[in-house]
Amino acid sequence: MLVIVAPGQGAQTPGFLIPWLEDPVFRSRFEWLSAVAGIDLVHYGTEADAETIRDTRIAQPLLVAAGLVAALELFPHPAEAFGKIGAVAGHSVGELTAAVGARAITAEQAMVLVRERGNAMAEAAAVRPTSMTAVLGGDRDEVLAAIAKHGLTPANDNGPGQIVAAGTVEQLEAFAADAPAKARLMPLSVAGAFHTEHMAPAVSHLASLAKSVSTHDPRAVVISNADGQVLHDGREVVSRIVGQIARPVRWDLCMETMRDLGVTGVLEMPPAGTLTGIIKRQLKGVETFALKTPDQLDDARAFCQRHGEQSQIETTPTWRVVVSPAKGTFHLDKDAAHAEELDAACTIGQVSSLRDHTDVRAAHGGTVVEWLVEDGDLVSPGQPLLRLHPKGAA
């Protein structure tokens, strides 16, 4: 089983896009996403120094755009990717990259969201001096107890021996003076205490924007940062992306889920190396591939071919849902009401309002599993009306 992962902020390095942008197709696609975000990402990926691209407002769009365009290089025919990808996951802002890869949202929607996410998080970080410190080694329980003692948040839990504490500068200074036994502290060069309560204003801003984002149910399993749960609903994918701004990243639980799913290979999108490094240490026996430069693409495709298998979402659906196309009163078709089997494109009823009357059709047909509404019920747009078992499904 193949899992594709996307890194979070901090993975970027000066000039990492130079070899990628030599390809005119990559460059044109990247310039398009730059235009959507309203940021000169070509400049930041080639000429800007480390301090400049550390800025949250630059780093986040840069990472997402790089991952999205590289994915099109890896899978020139995106529909074919779902015959290989078992699951996707992203660390922090990488969840936006993963959501696009699973087709839950579009690349353009992701670029608008990541631009606003970066801006809002930078503004939240400017309210009060905050930062983050990596805690390497030490007893896990003792490390977590020490973090809590000083009022800090374990903002990133990347598995045994790799926890990131976040909070105010004063709290981190006190923590450094009272470090847990056998643990090494490494202050991080970040602009604020991400994935903590200090980012709450950014959550509110992004939640407001996310209401207008149209979503689709993902075509590959999405593993959530929040708790490692598998997501199948597009709206929940976006909701969790919004909420994780102020919630800890539980990459340790994501890796547990990968193990439970039976992962055999993990490929990390550029700028790669951070997540595959963690996975090598925590998921023994799982092969990894860090895609860093375009000259690795042929080997990366071979890696995907070796580990890939058809997504379970795509090949073994147990039922399909017919939903309401509009708001109004649902009138059940008399023939459909008594049928055990429905043909594709047949009419199952009608939704009526003061403005119009809309026929509801079962696009795929199949065996009736369960009616979710009754004749005369008020329904809203997108409300599930009927479950069908697809014809030909096992």
Is 394 a residue whose pLDDT tops 50?
A: no
pLDDT band per the 50, 70, 90 thresholds, residue 315: very low
- pLDDT at position 381 is 67
pTM: 0.79
- pLDDT at position 316 is 46
Strands lying side by side in the sheet with 366-371: 320-323, 384-389, 366-371, 341-342
Which residue type does 313 have? Answer: I
| CB-facing half-sphere around the CA of 77: CA atoms within 13 A | 4
What are the tens digits of pLDDT across the range 219-268? 888 899 998 888 877 888 999 999 999 999 999 999 988 988 889 999 99
Is 338 one of the catalytic residues? Answer: no
Is 382 a residue whose pLDDT tops 80?
A: no
CATH of 125-187 among 3.40.50.970, 3.30.70.250, 1.25.40.10, 3.30.499.10: 3.30.70.250
Query: Among 105-119, 293-307, 310-324, which stretch is predicted with the lowest mean pLDDT?
Result: 310-324
What are the tens digits of pLDDT across the range 160-207? 889 999 999 999 999 999 999 999 999 987 889 999 999 999 999 999
- The CATH class, in words, for 318-389 is mainly beta
Is 92 one of the catalytic residues? Answer: yes
- pLDDT at position 106 is 96
How many other β-carbons are positioned within 10 Å of the β-carbon of residue 27?
15
- Of the candidates 34, 92, 224, 324, the residue annotated as catalytic is 92
Q: What CATH number should be reported for the domain whose range is 2-120+196-314? A: 3.40.366.10
What are the tens digits of pLDDT across the range 51-90? 999 999 999 999 999 999 999 999 988 777 877 898 999 9
User: How would you classify the pairing of strands 346-352 and 328-332?
Assistant: antiparallel
- Of the candidates 195, 198, 205, 307, the residue annotated as catalytic is 195
The dihedral over CA atoms of 179, 182, 188, 191, expressed in degrees to the nearest 10, equals -30
Higher pLDDT, 208 or 230: 208
Contact 126, 201 (CB under 8 A): no
Structural domain spans, the chain: 2-120+196-314, 125-187, 318-389
Burial of 356 (0-12, 13-18, 19+ CB in 10 A): exposed
- pLDDT at position 311 is 57
